[in-house]
Structure 1
Amino acid sequence: MTNTKATPSTSLPKEEHIEEIVSSIGPKVKELRQEQRLSLQQLAVKAEVSAAAIHKIERNDMVPTITTLLKVARALDRPVTYFVEGAGDRPEPVAFTPASQRPALFTPHAGLTLAGISGPYAPFRSAVALATVDPGANSGDKPLLHAGEELVFALEGKLVFDIAGTRHEVRKGDALHFMGDQPHHWVNEGKSKARAVWIALRDS
């Protein structure tokens, strides 16, 4: 007697499976961009892809070419397989960053260089970087305001933070931890570079 096994109800025909993967690319791009607090224009600059194209991809109005997808994946610190794998195939939330492969993180502030030492902003809730701040570099004319927390641990040099009107001088070995919804500003007032471990923790 032959025993035939029923096809599991969760299985999809090949054509539907491909369509599911293609239709999931846009939402994944949008979710990562928002989690990393990047505007369309900022992601466009990082990926060297037009903001209009990224907007169309996120809305599923356009299927990206492999070249475009590779650029976007690199900008969002993801392997391209992240965008074309099934939900059940996603890796465990473990990230190892070799010292020689720290990714350069996007920052709009001139004179600030960030080398990532944490995993991607999803599925984790924090982003950690080795920050190098040139003499005179600062966070801009307008106070910064955002959700979540920041923690800065100085490795060398000195950074000056103004948080809600209070001045904090952060020198080697000092740490400063604050909520981002307070108006804040930072500057390197010294004549040499400052280095720090900089941690950003989102609120959810």
Structure 2
Amino acid sequence: MSSSKDETQQLIQFVGTKLRELRKEQKLSLEELAAKTGVSKLTLGNIERGETNPTLGMMWKITNGLSLPLMALLKPENNINIVRAGQGPQLSGNRQEWVIEPLFSDIRGSLEMYRAFLKPHCKYVPEAHHPGSIEIATVMSGEVQITIGESSYTLNKYDSIQFVASEKHTYTNLEDEQAVLHLAINYK
């Protein structure tokens, strides 16, 4: 078994264990959590047992339903963390066009940081984030069009944008090369 498969399985187990802990802290049954998140009881049980690798969209639904930041499912709490590019866990959408590396979250869980990769000429439409949350995106390489509601903005290398993340938004890579972004999400 390769190191990458080992890391993926460890992440799946960690997410499942953490989900069970968070659900029990909120004194929710699997049925109650399913009703709050829109994710089936069967799928939630499979995630908790580490039998399935949840998609990024599914994890957004779960954390939104629990009123917690995404990192609550992904990161252990440490005082000092180093995240080396390409060496940590990576999460993706259904077709692997959008991949994120969780970087950091503050102790209160109100701020999260990610590194994101968007394949050439691909589009990513994330699940709506928590109400009132703010997203800040900085393009580190490439040219990315970000559509927020009905308005579109083209960002080049080192350009940044801030917006209300609970509003529908889309990232589109306009280039022939992979785009790299740094994202920060602030939960109110």
Could you tell me the TM-score, scaled by structure 1's length? Answer: 0.53
**Aligned-partner Cα distance in 2 for 1:180–1:107:** 18
Question: Which of the two has greater strand per residue?
Answer: 2
Give the equivalent residue in structure 2 for 1:22.
none
Give the equivalent residue in structure 2 for 1:77.
74
Give the equivalent residue in structure 2 for 1:156.
141
Query: Among residues 71, 75, 79, which one is paired with 1:94 in the alignment?
Result: 79
Give the equivalent residue in structure 2 for 1:106.
91
Unaligned runs of 5+ in 1: 1-24, 52-74, 80-90
* Shift in Å, 1:150: 0.8
- Does 1:145 pair with 2:128? yes
Paired residues of 1:102 and 1:116 also in contact (CA < 8 A): no
Secondary structure of the residue aligned to 2:144 is strand
| Cα RMSD after superposing both structures | 3.8
Aligned residue identity for 2:74: D
* Shift in Å, 1:125: 1.4
Q: Cα distance 1:95–1:180, how it changes in 2: closer, same or farther (>3 A)?
A: same
Give the equivalent residue in structure 2 for 1:115.
101
Paired residues of 1:46 and 1:106 also in contact (CA < 8 A): no
**Aligned-partner Cα distance in 1 for 2:45–2:82:** 22
* Shift in Å, 1:99: 1.9
Give the equivalent residue in structure 2 for 1:177.
162
What is the count of residue pairs matched by the alignment?
Answer: 138
Unaligned runs of 5+ in 2: 1-17, 27-32, 54-71
Q: Percent identical across equivalent pairs?
A: 12
Query: Among residues 15, 21, 24, which one is paired with 1:28 in the alignment?
Result: 21
Moved over 4 A (4+): 37-40, 42-47
* Shift in Å, 1:76: 3.2
* Shift in Å, 1:157: 0.2
Q: Cα distance 1:43–1:191, how it changes in 2: closer, same or farther (>3 A)?
A: farther
Paired residues of 2:19 and 2:73 also in contact (CA < 8 A): no
* Shift in Å, 1:122: 6.1
Could you tell me the TM-score, scaled by structure 2's length? Answer: 0.57
* Shift in Å, 1:181: 2.6
Between structure 1 and structure 2, the one with the greater Rg is 1
